[in-house]
Chains A and B, each alone.
Chain A
Amino acid sequence: SETEKYYLIFTEWVKLLQKVEHDDELVTVFLRQMVDRGVLSDTDSLINFCKASFELSILAFKASDPTGEVFVSIDALAMLVTKLLVVQEFEDYSRNEYLDIIFCILTMVFSKDHEQDNSTFNERPYFRFFSNILSEWSSLRGHDFIKITDQQIRKELIEFDNYFYNTFASYLHLIQPVAFPGFSFAFITLLSHRMFLPNMLRLENKSGWKNLTILIIDLFRFLDQYTGKVGISNAISVVYKGALRVIIGISNDFPEYLIENHYEFMNALPSSYAQLKNVMLAAIPKKIMLPNPYDNGLDMDKIDSCKMQPTVFYDPVVDLHSFKKPVDNYLRIPSNSLMRTIINGVYRDEYSFKSGIGYDYVSVDQKLVRAVVLHVGVEAGLESEKTSSGAIFNAKSSYYTLLFNLLNEGSSEVRFKVIEAMMEQLRYPNIHTHWFTFVLKNMFTSEEWGEQKSEIQEIILRNIFERIIVNKPHPWGVTVLFTQLLNLNNVKLLSLPCVKKVPEIENILKIL
């Protein structure tokens, strides 16, 4: 049959690669013959040949002695695919289309293998294929593809490089853990692959960031879905540990990526992952020095970096939708009616299950609240630069009153979510950390709350404790705020009703 013929040809290819170097002339001749003899002459034959080769390679893996060379066929297939990425004439289809076709074929073979009843699915050969493609590509692209002698092809490949990585990412997104749990561990391993992750982070103009964020969010969504209150399965626990380790790696090498994308990550991170939250928000830009956050005499006004605007890669304005108008209008000219619109708009239409610390569902649109808070912070920072810091470090400014009124009129849940979002902005020394520290401290000591005062104080303290009680790291800004609250003259934490009610908290505070 046609398929059997393809099996034979592919087997010859595998044998050839075991006998000569991959850049040997014989290899090029073999590929040329494949095209000339109609094995790879058009899309249909390409698809049929590659499908047969994938299936054969997977079969070969499954049938191999596990202690022996299990990847010989899949290694050869990856080499074939990469070579064809370079040497083809690309008449019937473009290089972009070719890559898409290959990944499509793989996805089809993969899906069937994973979903079939009585499946013998094993993620390893698929992982190996992806890993090899990354290795081969990495080897090719060194010094702007200098190994490619044909200058025209070299130029094309340089332009194609970006498409390569982003297409790879988009297909990885298709086989995310929620869709294919049998590939979960391979998924994180690929996401963090040494030939993928740093390259996505380093692509020019941050062009890999968006797709990389999508993948990390895929992982978080999977974890969120299966992190319940009543015990986590061992497998999920291991997935979490791997995710944590990868994020720590990113924080070490590319803290700016976590810093600029923190907003999207906070939206997707499971609510009870306090330490991972802290790790992400504790990322520090490489050149910044951190003043001692426990220093009682610390004055952010005197720290230069506290005037700097942190870069925000994903503009929260996008998530405001119709909310943008009333919020921006209020910031320009505050009015009660605008405030009413904002307050009424933060509630969801229906409850949503959410396994949080001390709650099981939410009735507030968390994403919207976070967008409002960050947007206000961004605008405040810009205002400070445009006019003066006095314009925003002022309890009468519209930036402050918008948040104040939201808390004053909102339910306990709204208060909790708004304060949680504000506290997420307490990070490394920058204008957002500076301003939100001012806002939270002011709110904590304000007499404007009336009867609501103790609840506001309790929620602020609760949020601080959720971040501080956790094992390190702790974001600099959170520690600074906490230190400032501990040393207040006008409010004694130990005499607060909410503290006295919980002896454990009272004891911790006494020690501190």
Chain B
Amino acid sequence: QHKAFKNPLFSEELKYWLDSKRPLMQPYKEMPDRMVSQLESSLLNCPDSLDADTPYLYRNPLSLPHPTSIFFPSEPIRFVSPVDSPQLQQQQNTGSNESIKSEDDKKESKPSTTHDIYSRTSLAKTFSKFDLDTLFFIFYHYQGTYEQFLVARELAKHRNWKFNKINRNWYYKEVTKSPPGMQQAEEETWRYFDYQNSWLARRCNSDFKYNEEDFEKL
């Protein structure tokens, strides 16, 4: 007789919802057969990490999977990274693989000290091994994505680049020791990555002035 049951919008479904209240008020002493099969079905259909992942309906054409050999895995790159072996952990602590980096890269990378929620994900660890070209490519061509975010984090926190909000370039401050006898002990030069034209890191000219306000606080 309740008003809710007269409402045509819900009247059909309401009785099913009400049925579910019974076990709440008077739980079954033993699981009835129907419940056993419902529970087992739930176990069988248990949502996994792929179900819980962020949905993407529209795919940026650049990020569509390219046809590759059938022998290559087609699973997403976000696999769970294997147990951190002691060697790997040490590498993580002292910076990425030294051997494949150039002199410049070695100067840029600092020991990984960021302990945020991304630091232990496989993608962040993978990005720490990418060279600058790859990082900038992802940054400029995958805008608004999680990958872009991680790359910006890698550039800012681990490689010490700074992002200019105004011209959208990444800048790097290089500090070198001056030859003896010079007035200043250190010399500061700035470089920026020219993403629009040459796709190279270029030296800033002498009238470049670093203005903290222009740079994103990442």
Chain A residues in the interface with B (C-beta under 8 A): 17-22, 44, 47-48, 51, 71-72, 75-76, 78-79, 104, 107-109, 111-112, 114-116, 121-124, 127-128, 131-132, 135, 176, 178-186, 189, 193-194, 221, 225-226, 233-236, 238, 353
Is the pair B42, A184 in contact by a Cβ cutoff of 8 Å?
A: yes
> Please, which residues of chain B bring their CB within 8 A of the CB of A178?
23-24, 27
> Complex formed: what's the CA distance from A221 to B14 in Å?
25
Instruction: Choose among B39, B41, B58 the residue with the greatest number of A CB atoms under 10 Å from its CB.
Output: B39
Task: Out of B13, B20, B27, B39, name the residue touching A184 (CB < 8 Å).
Answer: B39
- Interchain residue pairs with CB less than 8 A apart (21): A18-B57, A18-B58, A51-B9, A107-B17, A109-B13, A114-B20, A115-B19, A124-B51, A127-B47, A131-B52, A179-B23, A179-B24, A182-B38, A184-B43, A185-B45, A186-B46, A225-B27, A233-B39, A234-B43, A235-B40, A353-B29
Is the pair B58, A235 in contact by a Cβ cutoff of 8 Å?
A: no
Is the pair A238, B43 in contact by a Cβ cutoff of 8 Å?
A: yes
> Please, which residues of chain A bring their CB within 8 A of the CB of B41?
121-122, 182
Task: Out of B13, B24, B46, name the residue touching A185 (CB < 8 Å).
Answer: B46
Given A20-B58, A131-B51, A108–B35 Cβ distance below 8 Å? no
Q: Shortest 6 CB-CB distances between A and B: which pairs? A: A108-B13, A111-B17, A182-B38, A185-B46, A115-B16, A111-B16
> Please, which residues of chain A bring their CB within 8 A of the CB of B12?
112
Task: Out of B16, B40, B47, name the residue touching A189 (CB < 8 Å).
Answer: B47
- Judge if B77 is at the interface, Cβ distance under 8 Å: no
Given A47-B9, A124-B45, A127-B47, A233–B31 Cβ distance below 8 Å? yes
> Complex formed: what's the CA distance from A115 to B36 in Å?
14
A54 → B minimal CB distance (Å)? 11
Is the pair B55, A235 in contact by a Cβ cutoff of 8 Å?
A: no
B57 → A minimal CB distance (Å)? 4
Is the pair A22, B58 in contact by a Cβ cutoff of 8 Å?
A: yes
> Please, which residues of chain A bring their CB within 8 A of the CB of B55?
71, 75, 78-79, 128, 132, 135
> Please, which residues of chain B bring their CB within 8 A of the CB of A238?
43
A interface, by DSSP: helix, strand, loop or mixed?
helix
Is the pair A124, B23 in contact by a Cβ cutoff of 8 Å?
A: no
Residue of B nearest to A23 (CB): B144
Is the pair B47, A185 in contact by a Cβ cutoff of 8 Å?
A: yes
Is the pair A17, B57 in contact by a Cβ cutoff of 8 Å?
A: yes
- Judge if B211 is at the interface, Cβ distance under 8 Å: no
Is the pair A108, B57 in contact by a Cβ cutoff of 8 Å?
A: no
Is the pair B16, A114 in contact by a Cβ cutoff of 8 Å?
A: yes
> Please, which residues of chain B bring their CB within 8 A of the CB of A124?
45, 47, 51
> Complex formed: what's the CA distance from A185 to B38 in Å?
11
Is the pair A181, B46 in contact by a Cβ cutoff of 8 Å?
A: no
Task: Out of A47, A233, A353, name the residue touching B36 (CB < 8 Å).
Answer: A233
Known: A182-B42, A234-B43. 11 other contacts (CB 8 A): A18-B57, A19-B58, A22-B57, A111-B17, A112-B12, A114-B20, A128-B55, A178-B23, A179-B21, A182-B38, A235-B40
